[in-house]
Amino acid sequence: MGRKVKIGLVFAVAACLLLAGGAYAYDTVTKDTIADGVTVGGVDVGGLDETEAYRVLKREVVEPYARSITVTHGDEEFTLAADKLEIRADIDGMIDEALSASQDGGIPSRVWRNVTGGTVDMDVEPRVGYAQGPVKEFVGEIAGEIDREPRNASVEPSPQSVDPITSQAGMKLRRDELRSKIDAELQNPDGASKVKATVDELEPEVTTESLAANYPHFITVDRAGFKLRHYENLELRKTYDVAIGAIGFETPAGQYHITNKQVNPTWYVPDREWAGDLAGEVIPPGPDNPLKARWMGFYDGAGIHGTDEESSIGTAASHGCVRMRVTEVKELYDVIPDGTPIYIG
């Protein structure tokens, strides 16, 4: 090998060594810089060092997650403040992953990429989360405001009327669905700050429309006015004059039901002082039995029955029963079934 060739080889080797050393030095200098093309959650961090990337990621990746969420239901709004979400972000971990992606390939390929303006096509998944407890508690608070049991239609009787109370549908928040909606928005930095609650309507068992059918018959007794009123499907059918219990033997006030019916009833005389010599006796149907024609018992020996003492009608004269004219008690008896509610006031 000639002297010139040797010298040429020496220069070539030296040049290669210088080039390799320069490449190594360049790669060392740029190892703490994120490669162009690398993004975190779509945010460009290419060309940034760790300090610069931290500021950018905090501002553009983390802070958008820290926002209040408002849940709407009709005209109502419920807000979960951002400071209650306990946002947790691993910014250092995101930067480390971005730098690791930037070091992909050997030194020559990295140097060549950097000097020729090449890029790394890599999007790092944001490492941002929040505590589930506050969200669950928030949804529970909303449910506490929205949820209600359905209210059945019912009646509010008085001595003079039977007033219907309308039904009301219940409501139940779809808790799991709402939590999923909130999670979806909180995990999306570009998500909405408002979500709409979905609420199921719960139908009552007895609706206002079906209420009358639940009360085919209803009786009220107005002791002060000496009136018995018979309602059919909550509409007044007929009003009767009656006698009620005398002072000291008052017809019991309250709401009861017709519990037994008898034609030409036997009288089982209560074993009480007012009954005198008849106390505890059994009086069969007939002229000596004061329970004429019909009996509709409703409470502890008290009932509705006919009387031949028609002059007592419109007065307080009985020992607790409700007296009616014979023709009228028969008429009422024929249409009133066992179980008919009766309100006495």
- The per-residue pLDDT string of the chain (345 residues; one tens digit each, 9 = 90 and over) reads 555 544 444 444 444 434 444 444 444 545 688 988 899 999 999 889 999 999 999 999 888 888 899 999 999 999 999 889 888 889 999 999 988 888 875 566 655 566 565 778 889 999 988 888 999 999 999 999 999 999 999 999 999 999 999 999 999 999 999 999 999 988 887 777 899 999 999 999 999 999 999 999 999 999 999 999 999 999 999 999 999 999 989 999 999 999 999 999 988 777 666 656 666 678 888 888 889 999 999 998 899 999 999 999 999 999 899 999 999 999 999 999 999 999 999
- Give the pLDDT of residue 339: 97
Q: What is the pTM of this model?
A: 0.65
- Closest CA relative to residue 89, chosen from 40, 46, 32, 31: 40
Q: How many residues does the chain have?
A: 345
Catalytic residue (choose from 217, 230, 319, 321): 321
All domains of the chain in start order, with CATH: 147-178+186-211 (no CATH), 215-344 (2.40.440.10)
Q: Would you say 72 and 197 are in contact if contact means Cβ atoms under 8 Å apart? A: yes
CA separation, residue 185 to residues 108, 124, 131, 194, 246 (Å): 44, 20, 14, 9, 74
- Give the pLDDT of residue 318: 93
- Closest CA relative to residue 132, chosen from 187, 174, 92: 187
- Give the pLDDT of residue 59: 92
- Give the pLDDT of residue 244: 97
Ranges of H-type helices in 117-174 = 132-146
Q: Would you say 132 and 48 are in contact if contact means Cβ atoms under 8 Å apart? A: no
Residue 16 catalytic? no
- Give the pLDDT of residue 279: 66
Residue 321 catalytic? yes
- Give the pLDDT of residue 93: 93
Range 191-213 burial, b when 16+ CB lie within 10 A, else e: beeebebebeeeebeebeeebbe
- Give the pLDDT of residue 273: 61
Catalytic residue (choose from 217, 230, 305, 319): 305
